[in-house]
Amino acid sequence: MAQTKADIRSFYWRDDTLHILDQRRLPALETWLILDSAAQVVDAIRDMCVRGAPAIGIVAAYGVVLSARTQTGKPMALQQRAILADMDSLAQARPTAVNLRWALQRMRYILEQHSPPSVAALLAEARAIHRQDIEQNQRMAAAGSALIVPESVVLTHCNTGSLATGAHGTALGVIRNAWRAGSIRRIFATETRPWLQGARLTAWELARDGIPATLIIDAAAAVTMQREHVGWIIVGADRIAANGDVANKIGTYALAVMARHHGARFMVVAPSSSVDMRIPDGGHIPIEYRDHEEIWKAAGLESPLPGIDARNPAFDITPAELVDMLVTERGIIEKPGRENMAKMFENVG
């Protein structure tokens, strides 16, 4: 599949350093950060310079390469210990996205195969993870878009495109393909508060790709479904439990409930690396709670109002019974549940 203008590289490896497009500055500025240590990668993930479950996993893999580079020449035991410590820090940068742990497990396996640690072997594995993600996105885009009938109206949440993955995207990849095939009549994208990933990132990607869309505030989703005859809600996932429950950006659960009431179908698009078969259900998925300050700043305030607390979960859990289609690179599951999840993902996790 040929790349498009929107299939940008939001990160890449060059000259023994990791280059990351700072997503906090988009769409106003396209600013690149050059990282040369695992600690800097940890900060970039935690501070949302890079975000999106697949992208976080890939970037963490490159972070392990940077860790190994900084340890070259030290005693072998010290190298191994320091790299493992950096991997632990990377794993804790954002706890909900299972892709992060999945990528680090692959890197740890390579680390254990070489004594002393091989920077070249680790870099080859990080590049393989990156390349495989792009290939998986293209397969999911083709499979998911085939489900969209002509004249469909779709709504998406958060950002699931090139910026959130190796390239092309998961849910946004499906939307791109369906638009090019002429199946989509109209696209709605939520702002996605408080970081506004939909307003700042999804809208930017679609504009770069020449795909028209309508941006709505999160609270307008229900009335949009009611009045615009939305046929599909298409979202990504940060972690999917063994029973099909889905952890995704906060607000996803509400969209699934509204979709059921208004007769819209609900599609989750995610690679198998987002599936965690060791987690029995969504109640066991750790949910990241971010700093209250993010909410106050989104309201234009520098500090909390007296006596007013704030709660800032980054994710919520959508029960499997509200998911109509789960699209992965391995295939499509209609009405995901424990039994059909086990059949498709028996060797995952």
Active site residues: 238
The helix/strand/coil state of 86 is helix
Name residues whose C-beta falls within 8 Å of residue 287's C-beta, 6 or more positions apart in sequence. Answer: 96, 247, 313, 314, 315, 316, 317
Q: Could you give phi then psi for residue 175, rounded to 5 degrees?
A: -65, -45
The answer to whether the CB of 161 falls within 8 A of the CB of 7 is: no
Sign of CA dihedral 292, 297, 302, 307: negative
Q: What CA–CA distance (Å, rounded) separates 140 from 56?
A: 19
Number of H helices, E strands in the chain: 12, 14
Contact 24, 6 (CB under 8 A): no
For residues 201 and 218, the answer to whether their CB atoms sit within 8 Å is no
